[in-house]
Amino acid sequence: MLRFISVVFTIIATMIGSTVAQPKDTIFYQDVSWSPDGTKLLLSRLDIKGNDYRYHVYSVNTDGSNYLKVTDGPDDCWTSWSPDGSRFVYASKKDGNTDILVRGFDSVAAMHLTSDTARDSHPDWSPDGKNIAFVSRKNGLSQVYVTDSNGKNPHMLTTDSVQKGNPRWSPNGKRIAYYGNIEAGHDSIYIISANGENKLTICEGVWPSWSPDGKSILFTFDHDIYQIKLGDTVKTKLIDNAYFATSSPDGKKIAFIKQTWKAESGWPAASAVFISNSDGTGQSRIVPKSTYLGPSEF
């Protein structure tokens, strides 16, 4: 279970310099994804109660209302909506191994897209709904794979020795952005064609997310959120002390996560979900609304 969050806490461990007494219960939001119509968010939420760690998927309206638990866990995270908004894909350890599952919002039944001994995670649905990209350790390293949306015809897209994470389809479905850890020890953003060719290195960072027009990428670097235009070398800081940013379908807003508390060692941690304008201004806390996040609030 803790393997899900190893990268997360490595990055956010120093995001807040001061520490406070540990809350009785801690909620950590790991990732966020917009519904195709821009009215809802899916959230991967980790509840920490003592030594008990449990992931669940939640949904919430973008104004913070109608906060609902969608999955029962105990380890469900890394979400992506289908283009028509009727289903979502996610990583789950429900059956003992971390696989990629798909389910609808009107049913609790989930379909396995992967069922093997390798750890599969970070799924993303293609804009045309025909494919799903994800990360798997089938060959011993974390590589980007693509499968049909029904789980058929899986194939490995990347082949180098870089450990991969967070593949994201471009709006036109022709390219995929992802991040990987290179030999120098830092993470960089890469882009490849949907057929696995024409790999480009963009800049240092993690958790890339395309703008709706496909001309720029949001990403996390050094505990802050940046944006870079493709073909440019200058990255622009948008939001301090935040991570995992993603643009709304109309490009007018950004959803992202901020850490709100950390232990002396940087782990466990607590975080909250925010929405801002596309330039990082006008930040509004969506969940939780209060200063501290206890499960009783929900």
**Sequence-distant (≥ 6) Cβ neighbours of residue 236 within 8 angstroms:** 226, 227, 228
Q: CA–CA distance from 168 to each of 91, 127, 128, 246 (Å)?
A: 15, 10, 13, 11
Query: Quick one: pLDDT band at residue 185, thresholds 50, 70, 90?
Result: low
Q: What pLDDT sits at residue 12? A: 40
pLDDT in tens, 40-86: 999 999 887 777 788 999 999 999 999 999 998 789 999 999 999 99
Instruction: Please state the pTM of the whole predicted model.
Output: 0.87
Q: Evaluate if residue 291 carries a pLDDT over 50.
A: no
Query: Quick one: pLDDT band at residue 184, thresholds 50, 70, 90?
Result: low
Q: What is the largest CA-CA distance in the chain?
A: 50
Q: Evaluate if residue 17 carries a pLDDT over 90.
A: no
Q: Evaluate if residue 298 carries a pLDDT over 80.
A: no
Q: Evaluate if residue 210 carries a pLDDT over 90.
A: yes
Q: What pLDDT sits at residue 292? A: 42
pLDDT in tens, 142-169: 999 999 999 999 999 999 888 899 999 9
